[in-house]
Amino acid sequence: MTTGTWLDDLSPSQATQRAQQTALGDMIVLWGGRLLMAGFFFVIFVGLHPLSRDVGENAGGNAERQVSFLALAALATPLVLMRWERAIQIVLRSWPLLVVFAAMAMTTLWSTYPGVTVRRMILVIIVYIVAVGLASALRTPRDYLTALAFGYASILLIDLALSVAMPGFAYTPLGLAGIHGQKNVAGMAGLMFLACFSSILVGARQPVGFWVSVALLLLSFLFLGLTNSKTSLAVGLLATVFAAPVLALGHRGFVYATLLPLFFVVMAGLVIFATGAFDLTGADWAQITTGDPTFTGRDEIWSASLKEIAKAPWLGHGWGAVWSMLPLSHPLSQHIGFWTDTYETLLIINQSHNGYLDILMHGGIFLLTVVLLFLAKQIRDVVVAFKWQDRWYVAGNVFFGTFLLSLLINNMMEATLFFPDGLLGQFLILLTVAHTGWRLSWDRQALARTR
């Protein structure tokens, strides 16, 4: 009668050789994941023409950018194949994200410009392949966050160095843009810097790593202040000072986790009370919170966007089929009286400055419902992950939860949800898949502990 597996019959030398081969394979995959992360950061943040201002996407796209993304997919594919079992499980577990992609792809059937929709979908799928490759190679939150923090720190230091060495390029009339296309994009990058470095403080135990993260966190606040992005700075403060600690405490018990929704309930109640008691309007709130009753001209854009949404409220105009076709179908140019600025400024605007309005515009109530259900599932996954106790897993969950909160609030003023040029939207795909991979790793560890 035999017991065990064939591994039990290996000689000591064979067992040692196999262990060395396994360790070598793990090291190759780990460094492959780090290389892929570095490549993604280069393409997303730097690009082939780093000292140029890209005013936005268009229907034809950019050939160099397309080749860059294909190169990223080529780098990710070997990692997926080398860890194919894990990759398959991640794909199966990330089904809510795939449902969103399927809904987006369905809009091709009624898209005003189906060719544009198809090209946008190809880019989204490439980002998903990269996400699966990264999650397959960087299996734990510690591996992933370390690689991510290195990339964020590099971009942050480049931005600050440019602000000193090349202020004429780095600064725009509205604020510091650094290496990014505009200061609002810089603000979104700053939000991710804050979410990453604040969460690493939860996991780091070595003094060097901890204090370096503290320094980078402070530099991130400085960077956000220089961008003059009031929305991002306010969201960053809320996420870092309040949300991140509450999420970390959530891993000690669900009582602490109720503080975050309770905070928003109280704030919503105060807003409703103040609105009724003082007869405040939307313009009044804009004046109180930002000093500008038009939200920096967003009221015109939102009004025109609602007019476009009303043309196809249930199914939308097709994914990417509105703003990508400038100036042919620019919503502001279609509605006389909504735009009071110059024609040149009009052509620079390539979003509704509200992610939920843009989802409605491109996919109607149908797509918005799917996206909201997906976001609700991600919030649930963060809450369920409160059972994690390892400090780096806690750090990973804090990071994902803080990022989600920043994304949800930021999209009230900017449009980044799943859009191919939306910085936060691209990282939403990456981090959703990463969190899925971390849940898979934790479940495997929990299963191993019960045996």
pLDDT in tens, 72-89: 999 999 999 999 999 999
pLDDT confidence tier of residue 382, bands split at 50, 70 and 90: very high
Q: Residue 171, by phi and psi: left (phi above 0), alpha (psi -120 to 50) or beta?
A: beta
Q: How far apart are CA 283 and CA 300, in angstroms?
A: 12
Does 228 have pLDDT greater than 80? yes
For the ranges 40-44, 82-86, 350-354, 390-394, the lowest mean pLDDT is seen at 350-354
pLDDT in tens, 110-142: 998 898 899 899 999 999 999 999 999 999 999
Q: Which residue from 287, 248, 282 is spatially nearest to 392, judged by alpha carbons?
A: 248
> Residue 327: is the preceding peptide bond cis (ω within 30°)?
yes
pLDDT confidence tier of residue 49, bands split at 50, 70 and 90: confident
pLDDT in tens, 4-26: 554 455 566 655 666 666 677 78
Q: How far apart are CA 260 and CA 273, in angstroms?
A: 20
Q: How far apart are CA 362 and CA 312, in angstroms?
A: 9
For residue 174 the two structure tokens come to: 């509205």
DSSP string, 253-277: -HHHHTHHHHHHHHHHHHHHHHHHH
pLDDT of residue 273: 65
Q: At residue 175, what are phi and psi to the nearest 5 degrees?
A: 150, 180
pLDDT in tens, 354-376: 999 999 999 999 999 999 999 99
Considering the chain, what is the average pLDDT of its residues? Answer: 85
- Decide: helix, strand or coil at residue 413: coil
Q: How far apart are CA 420 and CA 380, in angstroms?
A: 26
pLDDT > 90 fraction of the chain, expressed in percent and rounded: 54
Region 182-197 average pLDDT: 93
pLDDT of residue 274: 67
Q: How far apart are CA 322 and CA 317, in angstroms?
A: 7
Q: In this structure, which amino acid lies at residue 339?
A: W
pLDDT > 70 fraction of the chain, expressed in percent and rounded: 79
pLDDT of residue 266: 72
pLDDT in tens, 272-305: 766 776 676 666 666 666 666 656 667 778 888 8
Region 198-205 average pLDDT: 93
What are the counts of helices (DSSP H) followed by strands (DSSP E) for the chain?
Answer: 20, 2
Higher pLDDT among residues 307 and 55, named by residue? 307
Distance spanning both ends of the chain, measured CA to CA = 23
The single-letter DSSP state of residue 42 is I
- 8 Å CB contact between 232 and 188: yes
- 8 Å CB contact between 298 and 332: no
Residue written as tokens 């690493």?
A: 200
